[in-house]
A and B are shown apart, each in its own frame.
Chain A
Amino acid sequence: MKLQNEVSFTFDSKSSNEAFARSAVGAFILGLDPTVGELNDIRTAVSEAVTNCVVHAYGDTIGKIYINVKIFEGGTVTIKIRDKGCGIENIDKAMEPLFTTAPGNERAGLGFAVMQSFTDNVKVRSKPNAGTTVTLTKKLSLRVNNA
């Protein structure tokens, strides 16, 4: 797959930045003319991943969240969301629907389930006390032939 366009940005793990992060990713892929549904899917999946960084990776501390978005020829988009937070002990467990380590905050435990349902592929790499990288992949329908 040939890389067509790429953007990277870094921001503080403040909850007020969740809206910025999903909007920035959404704005970057607008050139691909995504459907309203595709755009909403990507914004929702990014929001879940970033919220995980804010709530779980950094908890009561503020750290940096790194996002990299790549657009490939043919309309495939990959979004990497990386933190240098606490990491995930057991990734399979963390990805189980309804599993949450923060039930007191009314977290539904659906973050990864939403990412999986709203994109084509979710890859998680994590190391305790080092950080987590979530890579979301989605192929857009490309209504306009801009390849």
Chain B
Amino acid sequence: MYPKTSYDGNILTIYLKGEIDHHTAREIREATDSLIQLNKPSVLRLDFSGVTFMDSSGIGLIMGRYRMMLLYGGSTKAVNVPESLERIMNLSGLGALNIIEQGGELYEAAK
């Protein structure tokens, strides 16, 4: 699965889809990291509108990208998080980092 993306020279949006677990997180991580290294965006937006399931592997995935973007001097946002994922996001303490947002094009509309 290579994710849908959009990049405007500053903000890189990666549209994640399907189920995020320990198995799928590795592939998503590799695809995401190569896109970050290629584009060196100042803001990384991980869009969750196409995600139907996520366990704590998804939290590790977000935290890892958050740290990576900090090294590049950039920031990370988790956007359009479906209601079904809110509980696990809140449990992880990601809310306190102030990186969860709504807005922008959703998975279905993105190219």
Residues of A whose CB lies within 8 Å of any CB of B are: 15-16, 18-19, 22, 36-37, 40, 43-44, 47-48, 51, 54-55, 105-108, 110-111, 113-114, 117-118
Q: Once the chains bind, are B55 and A47 in contact (CB under 8 Å)?
A: yes
Tell me if A18 and B84 are in contact (CB < 8 A): no
Q: Which residue from B22, B54, B59, B87 sits with its C-beta under 8 Å from A117? A: B87
Q: Is the CB of B25 within 8 A of A106?
A: yes
* A40 cross-chain contacts in B, Cβ below 8 A: 53, 84
Which stretch, B8-16, B34-42, B60-68, touches the partner chain A?
B60-68
Q: What chain A residues lie within 8 Å of B57 (beta carbons)?
A: 51, 106-108
Quick one: which of B19, B24, B84, B91 contacts A114, CB cutoff 8 A?
Answer: B91
Question: A106 to B21, Cβ gap below 8 A?
Answer: no
Closest partner residue, chain A, to B52 (CB atom): A40
List 30 A-B pairs, Cβ < 8 Å: A15-B21, A15-B23, A15-B26, A16-B23, A18-B22, A18-B23, A19-B23, A19-B24, A37-B84, A40-B84, A44-B53, A44-B88, A47-B53, A48-B55, A48-B56, A51-B21, A51-B22, A51-B57, A55-B22, A107-B57, A107-B60, A108-B57, A108-B59, A110-B56, A110-B59, A110-B92, A113-B91, A114-B56, A117-B91, A118-B87
Query: With A and B bound together, what is the CA distance between A119 and B84 in angstroms?
Result: 15
Main secondary structure of the interface of A (DSSP, over half): helix
Complex: chain A residue closest to B92, CB-CB: A110
Pick from B53, B64, B87, B91: contact of A43, CB under 8 Å: B53
Bound complex: CA of A31 vs CA of B57, how far in Å?
Answer: 29
From B21, which residue of chain A is reached at the shortest CB distance? Answer: A18
Contact string against A for B residues 47-84, beta-carbon threshold 8 Å, 1 for contact and 0 otherwise: 00000011111011101100000000000000000001
**Interface flag for B17 (CB, 8 Å):** no
